Chain A
Amino acid sequence: MQNKSLVIVSILVLLGLFIGGGMYYKNLQTQKSIALAKEKALLFERPYSVVVGNKDAKVQLVEFFDPACETCALFHPYVKAILEKYDGDVKLVLRYAPFHENSIHAVKMLLGAKEQGMFMEVLDFMFATQNYWVQHHVVKPKILWQMLGQIKGLDMNKLSEFMKDESKNYIIKQDLEDAKTLDVTKTPGYIVNGKPLQTFGLDNLIELIESEL
C-alpha cells in the first residue's frame, strides 16, 4: 500500500515538473522574442531619431537621407505633403546617411540645430540652398557655415561649440551602421513599416504608404 502512494506521488511530481518546466520554457521563449522584436524595431527608429508627426502613428515612414542629396531635396516637399495629408496616421523618421563627400559636416550642423530646436528650419534651408554649398557632389562645409548665419534664431556661437563637441557623433555612426544593416545604399532610402521601397518613385512610395494605412 505504501508502494502505491509512492508511485502516485512520483507520477504527480513528474507531471508537475513536465507542466511547470513547459510553462517556464514557453515563458522564456516569449520574453526572448519580445526582446528580439524590440531590438529589431530599434533598427528603424532609435531613441535619438527625429520623428515628425504623431509618434504612435499606424504607418512609420523611415527616410534615410543625405542633406547633400539632390533627390532628397526634390522629395522633401512631397514627403511633407504626405505627412500633412495623412496627419496622425503617418509619422516620418529621419535617419542620416551622409554618403556624399564631406556631407558628415552638414549632418553635424543639423544635429547642432536639433539641439537648439531648429532642425526643420535648418533642413529646409539646406535643401533650398543645396546648389550653393554642394559643388560637383562634394559638400563645401565653409560655404554652408556662412550661409547658415542667415537663418533667424540660429545661435551660431552655440552651434560652433557643438561642432567641436564629439559626444553626439555616435548618432551619425549608428545611423550609418543601421543603413548598412538595412541594406540602404542610396538616398533617399524609404522604409515603410519595415518594408523597403522596392522600385524608387514618388507614386510607388505613396502606393506603399497607402497599402499600410
Chain B
Amino acid sequence: MIDSKFLFLSFLIASVATLGSLFFSEVMDFVPCNMCWYQRIFMYPLVLIFLMGILYPDDKVFKYAMPIVMVGLIFSIYHNLLMFGIIPEAAVPCTNGIPCSTKYISWFGFITIPFLSFLAYISIFILMILGRKKN
C-alpha cells in the first residue's frame, strides 16, 4: 500500500516525464537514442499503473510498479554515466543511429535529457519507499 499523496506525486512526475519526452521527440524533433527508448518503455506504463492505483486503490501498487521503476532507474543511471563520460564512449552499446552521448539540451551545464530522466526515476523511487505503508 502506498499513501495516496505520494502516489499522486509519483503519478504527476511520471506524467510530466512522459509528456516531456514526447515533447522533445514529437514537437522539437529530437531523435531519441536507444538508451532513451529503454527508459521510455519503463516510464510510460507507470503513468497508467499509478493512475489506476489512485482511482481504484488497492494494496498492490507497490508490488507492480516497483520492478518497473527499478529497471528504468538502472537504465537511467547507466545512461548518465555514459553522458558524463564516466563510462568511456567505446563501451556505448548503441552504435546505430544517434549515439547515446549526444547532448540535445544542456541547461546550466549539467541538466541534460538523461539527467531529467534520472531525476524522475529517483524521485519516484524515493516517493514509493517513503509512502509505503505497512498493513
Known interface pairs A3-B4, A3-B54, A7-B51; A18-B12 also in contact (CB < 8 Å): no
Interface size class of A (residues with CB under 8 A): 10 to 19
Whole-angstrom CA separation of A11 from B48 in the bound complex: 12
Tell me the smallest distance from the CB of B86 to a CB of chain A, in Å: 32
Interface SS, A side: helix
Q: Is the CB of A6 within 8 A of B8?
A: yes
Whole-angstrom CA separation of A6 from B54 in the bound complex: 11
Q: Name the residue among A11, A15, A17, A18 with the largest chain B CB count within 10 angstroms.
A: A18
Whole-angstrom CA separation of A17 from B12 in the bound complex: 13
Chain A 1-35 interface residues, beta-carbon cutoff 8 Å to B: 3-4, 6-7, 10-11, 14-15, 17-18, 21-22, 25-26
Is B22 positioned at the interface, with any CB of A under 8 Å from its CB?
A: yes
Interface size class of B (residues with CB under 8 A): 10 to 19
Whole-angstrom CA separation of A10 from B11 in the bound complex: 10
Known interface pairs A14-B16, A25-B28; A7-B23 also in contact (CB < 8 Å): no
Chain B residues near A21 (CB, 8 Å)?
A: 23, 27
Q: Is the CB of A7 within 8 A of B22?
A: no
Tell me the smallest distance from the CB of A127 to a CB of chain B, in Å: 51
Chain B 2-40 interface residues, beta-carbon cutoff 8 Å to A: 4, 8, 11-12, 15-16, 19, 22-23, 26-28
Is B55 positioned at the interface, with any CB of A under 8 Å from its CB?
A: yes
Chain A residues near B51 (CB, 8 Å)?
A: 7
Whole-angstrom CA separation of A7 from B28 in the bound complex: 27
Q: Name the residue among A3, A15, A26 with the largest chain B CB count within 10 angstroms.
A: A3
Whole-angstrom CA separation of A15 from B47 in the bound complex: 13
Tell me the smallest distance from the CB of B18 to a CB of chain A, in Å: 9
Q: Is the CB of B19 within 8 A of A14?
A: yes
Chain B residues near A7 (CB, 8 Å)?
A: 8, 11, 51, 54-55
Whole-angstrom CA separation of A18 from B16 in the bound complex: 9
In the complex, the chain B residue whose C-beta lies closest to that of A23 is: B27
Q: Is the CB of A22 within 8 A of B55?
A: no
Tell me the smallest distance from the CB of A27 to a CB of chain B, in Å: 11
Whole-angstrom CA separation of A21 from B11 in the bound complex: 21
A-B contact list, 16 entries, CB within 8 Å: A3-B54, A4-B55, A7-B8, A7-B54, A10-B12, A14-B12, A14-B16, A14-B19, A15-B19, A17-B19, A18-B19, A21-B23, A21-B27, A22-B23, A25-B23, A26-B27
Ordered nearest first, which 4 A-B pairs have the shortest CB separation?
Answer: A22-B27, A18-B19, A14-B15, A25-B27
Known: A7-B55, A14-B15, A26-B27. 10 other contacts (CB 8 A): A7-B8, A7-B11, A10-B12, A10-B15, A11-B15, A14-B16, A18-B19, A21-B27, A25-B23, A25-B28
